[in-house]
Amino acid sequence: MSYDLVIRGGSIADGSGEPLFDGDVAVADGKIVAVGAVSGKGKEEIDAKGLLVTPGFVDIHTHYDGQATWEERLVPSSWHGVTTTAFGNCGVGFAPVRPSDRQSLIELMEGVEEIPGSALHAGLKWDWESFPDYLDALDRRRHDMDLCAQLPHAALRVFVMGERALRLEDATADDIAAMRKLACEAMQAGGFGFTTSRSLNHMSANGDPTPTLRAREDELTGIAMGLKDAGSGVMQLIGEFTPDDRAEEIAMLHRIMRASGRPLSVIITQRHRDPDGWRDMLAGLEAANAEGLEMRAQVAPRSIGSMYGLSLSQHAFYLHPSYKEIADKPLAEKVAIMRDPAFRAKLLAEKPVHRSQRLVERTTNFDFTFALGDPPDYEPPEERSIRNLAAQAGRDPMEFVYDLLLENDGKNFLFSPNTNYAGYNLDASGEMIRHPLTCLGLSDGGAHVGHISDSGYPTFLLTHWGRDRKSGRIELPWLVRWMTSATAETVGLYDRGRIAPGYRADLNVIDFARLGQSYPYLTYDLPENGKRFMQKGEGYVATFLGGVATYRDGEPTDALPGKLVRGPQAAPPAATAAVPAAANA
Task: Identify the CA nearest to 196 among candidates 112, 111, 81, 132.
Answer: 112
pLDDT digits (tens, 9 = 90+) for 193-234: 999 999 988 989 888 999 999 999 999 999 999 999 999 999
Confidence of residue 584 (pLDDT cuts 50, 70, 90): very low
Instruction: Express as a percent the part of the chain with pLDDT over 70.
Output: 98
Task: Identify the CA nearest to 530 among candidates 455, 450, 464, 471.
Answer: 450
Query: What gap in Å lies between CA 451 and CA 468, rounded to an integer?
Result: 25
Give the pLDDT score at 561: 98
Rounded average pLDDT over 467-472: 96
CB atoms within 10 A of CB 324: 12
Give the pLDDT score at 585: 34
**521 alpha-carbon distance from chain centroid:** 18
Q: Where are the domains of the chain?
A: 2-54+498-556, 58-304+431-451, 306-417
Give the pLDDT score at 583: 44
Pure H helices in 316-416: 321-326, 331-338, 341-349, 357-363, 386-392, 397-410
Task: Identify the CA nearest to 197 among candidates 266, 149, 248, 150.
Answer: 266
pLDDT digits (tens, 9 = 90+) for 239-259: 999 999 999 999 999 999 999
Give the pLDDT score at 51: 98
Give the pLDDT score at 451: 84
Could you give the C-alpha distances from 254 to 192, 293, 445, in angstroms and in order? 20, 8, 29
What is the CATH superfamily name and number for domain 2-54+498-556?
Urease, subunit C, domain 1 (2.30.40.10)
Query: What gap in Å lies between CA 555 and CA 483, rounded to an integer?
Result: 22
pLDDT digits (tens, 9 = 90+) for 165-181: 999 999 999 999 999 99
What is the total residue count of the chain? 585
Task: Identify the CA nearest to 155 among candidates 196, 190, 214, 216.
Answer: 196
Rounded average pLDDT over 145-162: 98
- At 299, the amino acid letter reads V
pLDDT digits (tens, 9 = 90+) for 430-446: 999 999 999 999 999 99
Domain 58-304+431-451 falls under CATH 3.20.20.140: yes
pTM, to two decimals? 0.94
Give burial (CB, 10 Å; 0-12/13-18/19+) of 79.
buried
pLDDT digits (tens, 9 = 90+) for 399-432: 999 999 999 999 989 999 999 999 999 999 999 9
What's 2's DSSP letter? E
Is 467:511 a contact under the CB 8 Å cutoff? no
**Does 360 have pLDDT greater than 80?**
no
Of the candidate ranges 82-96, 350-364, 494-508, 550-564, the one whose mean pLDDT is the lowest: 350-364
**Does 576 have pLDDT greater than 50?**
no
**Does 582 have pLDDT greater than 70?**
no
**Does 528 have pLDDT greater than 70?**
yes
* Mean pLDDT taken over the chain: 95
Rounded average pLDDT over 292-318: 94
Query: What gap in Å lies between CA 43 and CA 237, rounded to an integer?
Result: 45
Query: What gap in Å lies between CA 570 and CA 494, rounded to an integer?
Result: 5
Name residue 306's beta-bridge partners.
416
Query: What gap in Å lies between CA 493 and CA 302, rounded to an integer?
Result: 25
Query: What gap in Å lies between CA 311 and CA 309, rounded to an integer?
Result: 5
